Structure 1
Amino acid sequence: MRTSSKISRLILSAALALPGAAALADPLYALTLLGGTGSSASDINRWGDVVGSITSAGVTHGFVNAGGTYTDLGTLGGTNSSANAINDYGQIVGGSDNGAGQFHAFSYAVGKMSDLGTLGGDRSEAFGINNHGVIVGDALNGDPATMGFAQAFRYSGGTMTDLGTLPGGLGSTAYAINNKGMIGGSSFEGPFTVPEYPFHAVTFSGGTAHSIGASDLGDSAIYGLNDDGLAVGGIPMSTMIHASHAFLYDHGTITDLGILDPAQDDSIAWDINNLKQIVGSAAVTIDPDHYGYHGFLWTGAGLVDLNTLIDPASGWVITSANGINDAQQIAATACYGGVFGDCRAVRLDLISAVPEPGSWAMLALGLGLVGVLKRARPVCRMPA
Structure 2
Amino acid sequence: MDSSIQVLNPSGGKIGTAYSINAANKLTGFSSGIPGSGIYATIWDPSGYGHYFDQGIAYDINDADTIVGLSSSQPAEWNNGEMSLLATGNGDWGAARSVNNSGIIAGWTGVTRTMTKSATLWMDYVPTNLDVPGEYSDAYDINDSGVVVGTYYLNEENRGFLWDDGIVHDLDDLIDPLSGWSITEAVAINNNGDIAAQGYHATYGFSALRLKYIEDSTCPAETTLANQSNQRAWIDELRGVRDQFLSQSSEGRALIQTYYRHADEVTARMKRDPRLGLQALSVLRFLEADLKATRSGKPVKLTARKIEAIRGFARSLQRGASPELSADLKTFLRKDLGVLLRKQ
Give the alignment partner of residue 43 of structure 1, picking from 14, 17, 20.
Answer: 20
- Is 1:111–2:81 an aligned residue pair? yes
Aligned to 1:156: 123
Aligned to 1:53: 30
Aligned to 1:251: 213
Q: Distance in 2 between matches of 1:131 and 1:84?
A: 15
Q: Distance in 2 between matches of 1:39 and 1:71?
A: 11
Aligned to 2:44: 65
Verify the 8 A CA contact 1:225 1:231 in the aligned structure 2.
yes
Amino acid at match of 1:52: G
Verify the 8 A CA contact 1:230 1:250 in the aligned structure 2.
yes
Q: Distance in 2 between matches of 1:218 and 1:156?
A: 31
Verify the 8 A CA contact 1:61 1:73 in the aligned structure 2.
yes
Give the alignment partner of residue 139 of structure 2, picking from 150, 156, 174.
Answer: 174
Identity %: 22
More relative contact order, 1 or 2 (CA 8 Å, 6+ apart): 1
- When normalised by structure 2's length, the TM-score is 0.54
Q: Distance in 2 between matches of 1:141 and 1:159?
A: 17
For each residue in 1:121-168, what CA deviation from the matched residue of structure 2 results, as whole angstroms up to 9, or x when unmatched? 2210011110111100011057x8xx53200000111201001113xx
Instruction: Give the ranges of 4+ consecutive aligned residues of structure 1 lying more than 4 Å apart after TM superposition.
Output: 214-219
Q: How does 1:143-222 map to 2 (within 5 A)?
A: 147-166=114-133, 169-189=134-154, 191=155, 196=156, 198-213=157-172, 220-222=184-186
Aligned to 2:226: none
Aligned to 2:217: none
Q: Which segments of 5 or more consecutive residues in structure 1 lack a partner in the other structure?
A: 1-15, 17-27, 76-80, 98-102, 253-384
Verify the 8 A CA contact 1:117 1:124 in the aligned structure 2.
no
Q: Distance in 2 between matches of 1:226 and 1:217?
A: 22
Verify the 8 A CA contact 2:91 2:110 in the aligned structure 1.
yes
The structure number with the bigger radius of gyration is 2
**Structure 1 position 94, deviation (Å):** 0.5
Q: Distance in 2 between matches of 1:72 and 1:86?
A: 14
Verify the 8 A CA contact 2:198 2:206 in the aligned structure 1.
yes
Q: Distance in 2 between matches of 1:239 and 1:59?
A: 42
Which has more helix, going by share of residues? 2
Q: Distance in 2 between matches of 1:227 and 1:207?
A: 18
**Structure 1 position 219, deviation (Å):** 7.3
Closer, same or farther: CA 170–119 of 1 in aligned 2, 3 Å: farther
Verify the 8 A CA contact 1:199 1:218 in the aligned structure 2.
no
Aligned to 1:314: none
Amino acid at match of 1:82: I
**Structure 1 position 89, deviation (Å):** 0.9
For each residue in 1:84-119, what CA deviation from the matched residue of structure 2 results, as whole angstroms up to 9, or x when unmatched? 11111111110111xxxxx10101011201100213
Give the alignment partner of residue 138 of structure 1, picking from 103, 108, 113.
Answer: 108
Give the alignment partner of residue 121 of structure 1, picking from 68, 91, 111.
Answer: 91
Q: Distance in 2 between matches of 1:40 and 1:238?
A: 33
Amino acid at match of 1:235: G
**Structure 1 position 251, deviation (Å):** 2.8
For each residue in 1:279-336, what CA deviation from the matched residue of structure 2 results, as whole angstroms up to 9, or x when unmatched? xxxxxxxxxxxxxxxxxxxxxxxxxxxxxxxxxxxxxxxxxxxxxxxxxxxxxxxxxx
Query: CA RMSD for the aligned pairs?
Result: 2.6
Closer, same or farther: CA 66–218 of 1 in aligned 2, 3 Å: same
Q: Distance in 2 between matches of 1:107 and 1:251?
A: 28
Aligned to 2:189: 225
Which has more strand, going by share of residues? 1
